[in-house]
Amino acid sequence: MICRSLRLALLLSSLAFAQSHSSLEHKADPQAPLKKSHVVQVAMKNVMYHFTGPIAVHIVQLQGYLTPTNPSGIVAFDEKNSFVLHLASAEIAMRCDVLAQVLNENVFAAPDAPIKALSIASDGHQLIIKGKLHQKGDVTFESTGTLSVDQDGRVRVHTGHLKAAHLPLKGMLDLLGLNISRLISTDKVHGVAIDKDDLLLDPEQIFPPPQIKGRVTAVRVQGGEIIQVFGERQKPDFAAKQPGNYMAYRDGDLRFGKLTMNDADLVLIDMEPRDPFDFFLDHYKEQIAAGYTKTTLSLGLRVYTQDYDKLRPGRR
């Protein structure tokens, strides 16, 4: 009887250990599928999207999804760090001076950053980049660069010509068997790296929140703007029949203000579609308060929204 009891105790202990071990493995598995309620499908068309007041990009089209940064959390408009935007397909244009502002404010903002006071302009299909080499006593520099995409999705700025203190520098470096990476250290800088004479930019890291994830597949300079293409062309999105400019959200759980939508069905619609839908997440409440809302028969919301740049100063 004692032996049988002992064997039974050992068996129960083994089963309990196996269940506990299995549960721990499940919790630690980073590849575990997301719950359906955690994934919010998103589609956008012709949106001027503000990360900050002056930092805005033109989203020509976008398809993707939002996920909460906290596995037990929810996508919430009122907290930009609460979600990640995953890009399945997108075409996003950004003015050259906006890229310079992004780099100055979010990448090279630290007092010991290697580069300061960047300005970027375009000349045909090339970029003209000016700034100061902070690690070399704030010596001014000017370079020309062409854009391409690496296999890992980073944007490569290839340096064609480089002047420092108005003197040709790249030819001198080539003569000495050196390259720009010997002049500039980016060890403490996120989102930017230097490969020999080229600057590598990671779009997933250089922008302010909300965080974006997506692989750049093509890039070009056109009409004073940098055009980035993410992912591959998709089938028409779920909101493709919606006329005008819009930001559409479907499925999953979504919170904005006091309202939480389960199995979301929300479309923000540009009230004045003659120009891009100017949207600033920090001020979405003022924008929707300046418009009006309709409810569909399936209890979806269609929110006709005022452009941020058309709000009266007192409402911003």
Q: How far apart are CA 270 and CA 245, in angstroms?
A: 5
Phi-psi region of 301 (alpha: psi -120 to 50; beta: other; left: phi over 0): beta
Please give the torsion angle defined by the CA atoms of residues 139, 145, 151 and 152, in that order, rounded to the nearest 10 degrees.
40
Q: What is residue 31's predicted lDDT score, i.e. its pLDDT?
A: 45
pTM (whole model) above 0.85: no
One digit per residue, pLDDT tens: the chain, 316 residues?
434 443 434 343 443 433 443 333 333 344 445 666 789 999 999 999 999 999 999 999 999 999 999 888 899 999 999 999 999 999 999 999 999 999 999 888 888 787 889 999 999 999 999 988 876 677 888 888 899 999 999 999 988 777 775 545 444 334 334 344 444 555 567 888 888 778 899 999 999 999 999 999 999 999 999 999 999 888 888 888 899 999 999 999 999 999 999 999 999 999 999 999 999 999 999 999 999 999 999 999 999 999 999 997 755 5
pLDDT in the model for residue 186: 55
What is the pLDDT at residue 312?
A: 75
Q: Note the pLDDT of residue 229.
A: 97
For tokens 């244009």, what's the residue?
93
Q: Which pLDDT score is estimated for 163?
A: 76
Distance CA 281, CA 165 (A): 42
Domain layout of the chain by residue ranges: 36-93+231-315, 97-206
Instruction: Give CA separation, 151 vs 42, 156, 195, 205, in Å.
Output: 26, 10, 14, 17
DSSP for 26-44, please give it.
Answer: HHH-TTPPPPGGG-EEEEE
Q: How do 167-168 and 40-50 pair as beta strands? A: unpaired
* Cβ-proximal residues to 266 (8 Å cutoff; 6+ apart), any chain: 248, 249, 250, 254, 256, 300, 301, 303
Where do the H-state alpha helices sit in 29-138?
96-102
- Integer Cα distance of 300 and 151 in angstroms: 41
